[in-house]
Homo-oligomer: A and B are copies of this chain.
């Protein structure tokens, strides 16, 4: 087996363990067991356990972005409200479909914030979240020929803060109706800063 193939298998196994059992259970032993390998073979692909963690954080950033906010580009939306409401709703669907995944993201962020060598990763993670949200807000403005009366960089932070808060609220309560109302309130908050060009 090639080193790169082994890395990919271990990486995929690690993501499964993280989502299913949480970061606290993401030991080297759990990973190789999930990948059905021997313990020693882990270090043939990765130097240290922490190195895999770093790679997971870095990689999950991009995946999260494309999946979570893909709904914003939804071609079926006929108004800015539909576009934004639909995007937030499709994000919530993602959380509902795989709660462990979003929980794993939070755990990774918290973990990174606690280690000096990894805090930059957490900062990068959120910088990319904000950039992606801003890009999609710009996309909505362009598509519907409207303009945001507040810098999209600021509105993007509002979007990300709300998705984080929405996720935590749903994870702790599992209340779909309350989450739907929260999405509507968030949509209202964003649309208040939209004006015709």
B-binding residues in A (CB < 8 A): 21-22, 24, 103, 106-107, 109-111, 113-114, 122-123, 125-127, 150, 154-155, 157-158, 160-166, 168-169, 171-173, 178, 181-182, 185-186, 188-189, 192-193
| CA–CA, A165 and B106, complex, Å | 12
23 contacts between A and B (CB under 8 A): A21-B114, A106-B106, A106-B110, A110-B110, A113-B171, A113-B172, A123-B173, A125-B172, A126-B172, A154-B181, A154-B182, A154-B185, A158-B182, A160-B165, A161-B162, A161-B168, A161-B169, A162-B165, A164-B164, A164-B168, A185-B189, A186-B189, A189-B192
Interchain nearest-CB distance for A190 vs B (Å)? 9
Residues from chain B with a CB closer than 8 A to the CB of A160 are 165, 169
Cα(A161)–Cα(B110), bound, Å: 17
A57 CB to nearest B CB, Å: 12
Q: Given that A154-B185, A158-B182, A185-B189 are known contacts, is A173 also in contact with B110, CB under 8 Å in the complex? A: no
How many Å from the CB of A84 to the closest CB on chain B?
A: 13
Contacting pair B109 A168 (CB below 8 A): yes
Q: Which residues of B sit under 8 angstroms from A172, Cβ to Cβ?
A: 109, 113, 122-123, 125-126
Q: How many angstroms between the C-alpha atoms of A42 and B164 in the bound complex?
A: 37
Residue on B nearest A153 in the bound complex, by CB: B178
